[in-house]
């Protein structure tokens, strides 16, 4: 049911500098790709007959932190509301690959969250 051409989006001879590596976890029904970024984040990209948008040829994505927990805070405001984002065009997936890959490191986010909580306690 899946088309190997769909993987062409992720099969680049020269990956952008912010990508550590790409894992292909596909099976005969579903394309399953996991992009691991150097900043500690990961992006799951799937397409199949039972995914959000898959029957229409669209992709479903979900960002993760290095702890394996979903990281929906990485979605733009218009795309927020769930931990996964379905019905994505290839252009939208490429946008999120670039956005997440260029996002500051997870450690920087944790430090910022601690500082924000501290500021709230002193004000």
60-94 pLDDT, tens digit per residue, is: 999 999 889 999 999 999 999 899 999 999 999 99
8-65 pLDDT, tens digit per residue, is: 555 555 678 999 999 999 999 999 999 999 999 999 999 999 999 999 999 999 999 9
Q: How is residue 81 written in tokens?
A: 């509301």
Which residue, among 61, 85, 58, has the nearest Cα to 3 in the 3D structure?
58
Taking the C-alpha atoms of residue 104 and residue 69, their distance in angstroms, rounded to an integer, is 17
Taking the C-alpha atoms of residue 89 and residue 103, their distance in angstroms, rounded to an integer, is 21
Q: How is residue 12 written in tokens?
A: 């680049």
pTM (predicted TM-score): 0.78
Domain segments of the chain as ranges:
4-122
Q: How far is CA 43 from CA 1, 12, 33, 80, 118, in A?
A: 22, 16, 8, 16, 30
């Amino acid at each position: 049911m899946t088309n190997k051409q769909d993987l062409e989006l992720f099969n680049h001879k020269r990956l952008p500098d912010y990508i550590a590596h790409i894992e292909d976890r596909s099976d005969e029904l579903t394309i399953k790709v996991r992009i691991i970024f150097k900043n500690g984040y990961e992006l799951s990209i799937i397409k199949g007959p039972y995914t959000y948008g898959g029957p229409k040829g669209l992709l479903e994505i979900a960002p993760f932190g290095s702890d394996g927990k979903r990281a929906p805070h990485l979605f733009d405001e218009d795309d927020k509301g769930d931990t996964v984002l379905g019905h994505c065009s290839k252009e939208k997936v490429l946008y999120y690959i670039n956005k997440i890959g260029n996002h500051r490191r997870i450690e920087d986010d944790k430090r910022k969250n601690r500082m924000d909580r501290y500021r709230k306690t002193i004000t």
